[in-house]
Structure 1
Amino acid sequence: MEVIKEEPNVMVECEMNEDLKGEVKQEIDLKLKNEVSEEIFISNEIVQDKGALSTEVKKFKCLDCDRWFNCKNQLTQHMMVHSRVKEFECTECGKLFSGNSNLKQHLEIHLGMKKFRCDECGKLFRTKGNLKQHLVIHSGVKKFKCDECGKEFSYKSHLKSHLVFHSGVKRFKCDECGKCFTYKSNLNDHFLVHSGVKKFKCEECGKLFGSKGDLTQHLLIHSGVKKFRCEECGKLFAHKSNLKNHLIVHSGVKEFKCDECGKLFGCKGDLKKHLLIHSGVKKFKCEECGKLFASKGDLKKHILIHLGVKEFICNECGKHFGRKGDLTQHLLIHSGVKKFRCEECGRLFAHKSNFKKHLLVHSL
Structure 2
Amino acid sequence: MCQFGRRFIEEVALQHYQSIFSGDTLAQYSESETQSNQGSHVSKHLRTLQENHFESNKDEEVFYPNSKRTKSKRMQRGENTSKYDECGKALKQSSSIADHQRIRVGENPYTGNESGNMFSQSLSLNTYKTSGTGEKRYTCKECGKTFVRLSTLSQHQRICTAQKPYKCQQCGKAFTQQSLLTHHQRIHTGEKPYECQECGKAFKCHSYLIKHHRTHTGEKPYKCQECGKAFKQQSSLTKHHRIHTGEKPYKCQECGKAFSHRSSLAQHHRRHTGEKPYKCQECGKAFPQQSSLSQHHRIHTGERPHNCQECGKAFIHPSSLTQHHRIHTGEKPYQCQECGKAFKCSSRLTEHHRIHTGEKPHKCKECGKAYKAYSQLTQHHIIHTGEKPYKCKECGKAFSRYSTLFLHRLIHTGQKPYQCNKCSKTFNLPSRLTQHHRIHTGEKPYKCQECGKVFSQQASLSQHKRIHSGEKPHKCQECGKAFRLKSNLNDHHRIHTGEKPFQCQQCGKAFRIKSNLNGHHKIHTGEKPYQCQICGKGFTKCSQLHQHHRIHT
TM-score by length of 1: 0.48
Q: Which has the higher contact order (CA 8 A, sep 6+)?
A: 1
Larger radius of gyration: 2
TM-score (norm 2): 0.35
